[in-house]
Amino acid sequence: MLLTTNGGPAMAPWGGRRKIIGTNPWSVAAPAGSRAPFVVDMATTGVARGKIYLARNKRLPIPLGWAINSAGEPTTDPQEAIDGIILPMAEHKGYAIAAMVDMLAGVLTGSGFLTAVHSPYQTADEVFYPGEIEARNDARNRKEGIRFPEDTLADLKRVARETGLEARLPFS
Protein backbone atom coordinates (compact mmCIF):
# COMPACT_ATOMS: atom_id res chain seq x y z
CA MET A 1 0.00 0.00 0.00
CA LEU A 2 1.25 3.49 -0.83
CA LEU A 3 -0.13 6.55 0.92
CA THR A 4 0.86 10.13 0.25
CA THR A 5 -0.37 13.39 1.69
CA ASN A 6 0.68 16.97 1.28
CA GLY A 7 0.81 19.57 4.00
CA GLY A 8 0.96 23.29 4.54
CA PRO A 9 4.08 25.10 3.38
CA ALA A 10 7.16 24.44 5.53
CA MET A 11 9.90 24.01 2.93
CA ALA A 12 11.24 26.14 0.10
CA PRO A 13 12.15 24.88 -3.37
CA TRP A 14 15.77 23.72 -3.38
CA GLY A 15 17.91 26.85 -3.10
CA GLY A 16 14.89 29.07 -2.38
CA ARG A 17 13.97 31.05 0.72
CA ARG A 18 10.16 31.17 0.51
CA LYS A 19 8.05 28.37 1.99
CA ILE A 20 5.76 27.01 -0.70
CA ILE A 21 5.70 23.23 -0.19
CA GLY A 22 4.84 21.03 2.76
CA THR A 23 6.77 18.28 4.49
CA ASN A 24 4.59 16.02 2.32
CA PRO A 25 5.00 12.66 4.05
CA TRP A 26 4.64 9.36 2.28
CA SER A 27 4.10 5.87 3.61
CA VAL A 28 4.51 2.39 2.22
CA ALA A 29 3.24 -0.73 3.95
CA ALA A 30 3.30 -4.37 2.92
CA PRO A 31 2.36 -7.59 4.69
CA ALA A 32 5.27 -9.85 5.66
CA GLY A 33 3.58 -13.17 6.23
CA SER A 34 3.95 -14.34 9.83
CA ARG A 35 6.24 -11.42 10.66
CA ALA A 36 5.35 -7.84 11.50
CA PRO A 37 4.39 -5.82 8.40
CA PHE A 38 6.96 -3.74 6.53
CA VAL A 39 6.09 -0.09 7.22
CA VAL A 40 7.87 3.09 6.10
CA ASP A 41 6.45 6.48 7.06
CA MET A 42 8.52 9.60 6.50
CA ALA A 43 8.36 13.27 5.76
CA THR A 44 10.35 14.62 2.82
CA THR A 45 12.07 17.06 5.14
CA GLY A 46 15.07 16.09 7.23
CA VAL A 47 12.79 16.05 10.27
CA ALA A 48 9.06 16.01 10.89
CA ARG A 49 7.74 19.48 11.71
CA GLY A 50 6.17 18.15 14.91
CA LYS A 51 9.63 17.43 16.34
CA ILE A 52 10.55 21.09 15.97
CA TYR A 53 7.34 22.14 17.76
CA LEU A 54 8.09 19.60 20.50
CA ALA A 55 11.62 21.02 20.94
CA ARG A 56 10.15 24.52 21.17
CA ASN A 57 7.62 23.43 23.77
CA LYS A 58 10.37 21.73 25.81
CA ARG A 59 12.64 24.78 25.33
CA LEU A 60 15.34 22.61 23.73
CA PRO A 61 17.62 23.43 20.80
CA ILE A 62 17.27 21.50 17.55
CA PRO A 63 20.25 19.97 15.73
CA LEU A 64 22.01 22.01 13.05
CA GLY A 65 20.89 20.93 9.60
CA TRP A 66 17.18 20.67 10.44
CA ALA A 67 16.27 24.21 9.42
CA ILE A 68 17.35 27.69 8.47
CA ASN A 69 16.00 30.94 9.88
CA SER A 70 14.15 33.57 7.85
CA ALA A 71 17.50 35.16 6.91
CA GLY A 72 18.64 31.85 5.38
CA GLU A 73 21.14 31.04 8.14
CA PRO A 74 21.44 27.67 9.91
CA THR A 75 19.68 27.69 13.28
CA THR A 76 19.31 25.56 16.40
CA ASP A 77 16.43 27.71 17.69
CA PRO A 78 13.11 25.91 17.16
CA GLN A 79 11.10 29.14 16.88
CA GLU A 80 13.51 30.48 14.26
CA ALA A 81 13.07 27.17 12.41
CA ILE A 82 9.27 27.47 12.54
CA ASP A 83 9.47 31.06 11.30
CA GLY A 84 12.12 30.06 8.77
CA ILE A 85 12.35 26.98 6.56
CA ILE A 86 12.60 23.29 7.39
CA LEU A 87 15.24 21.73 5.16
CA PRO A 88 14.50 18.79 2.84
CA MET A 89 16.00 15.37 3.40
CA ALA A 90 18.80 14.55 0.97
CA GLU A 91 19.01 18.17 -0.20
CA HIS A 92 17.59 18.60 -3.72
CA LYS A 93 16.35 15.01 -3.85
CA GLY A 94 14.11 15.57 -0.82
CA TYR A 95 12.62 18.63 -2.48
CA ALA A 96 12.00 16.63 -5.66
CA ILE A 97 10.25 13.90 -3.66
CA ALA A 98 8.15 16.54 -1.84
CA ALA A 99 7.11 17.98 -5.21
CA MET A 100 6.21 14.48 -6.46
CA VAL A 101 4.08 13.83 -3.36
CA ASP A 102 2.39 17.23 -3.81
CA MET A 103 1.46 16.20 -7.37
CA LEU A 104 0.13 12.80 -6.26
CA ALA A 105 -1.71 13.99 -3.15
CA GLY A 106 -2.79 17.45 -4.33
CA VAL A 107 -2.86 18.02 -8.08
CA LEU A 108 -4.07 14.57 -9.16
CA THR A 109 -6.78 14.44 -6.50
CA GLY A 110 -8.11 17.89 -7.30
CA SER A 111 -7.35 19.22 -3.84
CA GLY A 112 -4.95 21.94 -2.76
CA PHE A 113 -1.25 21.94 -3.51
CA LEU A 114 1.74 24.13 -2.74
CA THR A 115 0.59 27.21 -0.81
CA ALA A 116 -3.10 26.27 -1.12
CA VAL A 117 -2.61 23.49 1.45
CA HIS A 118 -3.38 24.44 5.03
CA SER A 119 -1.35 23.13 7.90
CA PRO A 120 -2.62 21.89 11.25
CA TYR A 121 -0.06 24.28 12.72
CA GLN A 122 -1.85 27.29 11.25
CA THR A 123 -5.24 28.61 12.32
CA ALA A 124 -8.12 28.30 9.82
CA ASP A 125 -11.23 30.40 9.24
CA GLU A 126 -13.46 27.38 9.87
CA VAL A 127 -13.36 24.32 12.07
CA PHE A 128 -14.29 21.11 10.26
CA TYR A 129 -15.45 17.79 11.62
CA PRO A 130 -13.64 14.70 10.29
CA GLY A 131 -14.66 14.05 6.69
CA GLU A 132 -16.34 17.43 6.12
CA ILE A 133 -13.62 18.86 3.86
CA GLU A 134 -13.54 15.65 1.84
CA ALA A 135 -17.33 15.69 1.48
CA ARG A 136 -17.22 19.30 0.24
CA ASN A 137 -14.50 18.43 -2.27
CA ASP A 138 -16.47 15.39 -3.43
CA ALA A 139 -19.61 17.50 -3.96
CA ARG A 140 -17.61 20.14 -5.87
CA ASN A 141 -15.88 17.49 -8.03
CA ARG A 142 -19.20 15.82 -8.83
CA LYS A 143 -20.72 19.17 -9.82
CA GLU A 144 -17.75 20.70 -11.65
CA GLY A 145 -15.76 17.59 -12.53
CA ILE A 146 -12.15 16.88 -11.77
CA ARG A 147 -9.86 19.20 -13.67
CA PHE A 148 -6.74 17.75 -15.24
CA PRO A 149 -3.93 19.63 -16.97
CA GLU A 150 -4.14 19.55 -20.78
CA ASP A 151 -1.02 17.40 -21.09
CA THR A 152 -2.56 14.79 -18.74
CA LEU A 153 -5.75 14.74 -20.84
CA ALA A 154 -3.67 14.37 -24.01
CA ASP A 155 -1.82 11.41 -22.46
CA LEU A 156 -5.11 9.78 -21.40
CA LYS A 157 -6.51 10.24 -24.92
CA ARG A 158 -3.34 8.74 -26.44
CA VAL A 159 -3.49 5.68 -24.17
CA ALA A 160 -7.23 5.26 -24.87
CA ARG A 161 -6.60 5.47 -28.62
CA GLU A 162 -3.75 2.91 -28.40
CA THR A 163 -5.92 0.49 -26.42
CA GLY A 164 -9.08 0.94 -28.48
CA LEU A 165 -11.00 2.62 -25.65
CA GLU A 166 -11.18 6.14 -27.07
CA ALA A 167 -14.96 5.94 -27.67
CA ARG A 168 -15.48 5.20 -23.97
CA LEU A 169 -13.77 8.36 -22.72
CA PRO A 170 -16.15 10.64 -20.77
CA PHE A 171 -14.46 13.69 -22.33
CA SER A 172 -13.53 14.67 -25.87
Compute φ and ψ for 30, nearest 5 degrees.
-150, 140
- Residues 163 and 60: their CA atoms lie apart, in Å, by 59
Q: Is the pLDDT of residue 143 over 80?
A: yes
Query: Amino acid identity, residue 119?
Result: S
Instruction: Assess whether pLDDT exceeds 70 at residue 121.
Output: no
Asked whether the predicted pLDDT for residue 122 surpasses 70, the reply is: no
Check residue 120 and give its pLDDT: 67
| Cα-Cα-Cα-Cα dihedral sign, residues 79, 84, 89, 90 | negative
Asked if 23 and 45 touch (Cβ cutoff 8 Å), the reply is yes
What is the per-residue pLDDT across 73-90, written as a single tens digit (0 to 9) for each? Answer: 999 999 999 999 999 999
Q: For the domain 2-121, what is the CATH code?
A: 3.30.1370.60
DSSP assignments along 16-30, one per residue:
--S--B----EEEEE
Where along the chain do its domains lie? 2-121, 126-172
Query: Is the pTM above the cut of 0.75?
Result: no
User: DSSP per residue over 72-115, as a string?
Assistant: S-B---HHHHHHSEEPBTTTHHHHHHHHHHHIIIIITTTS--GG
User: Half-sphere exposure of 30 toward its Cβ, with a 13 Å CA cutoff?
Assistant: 3
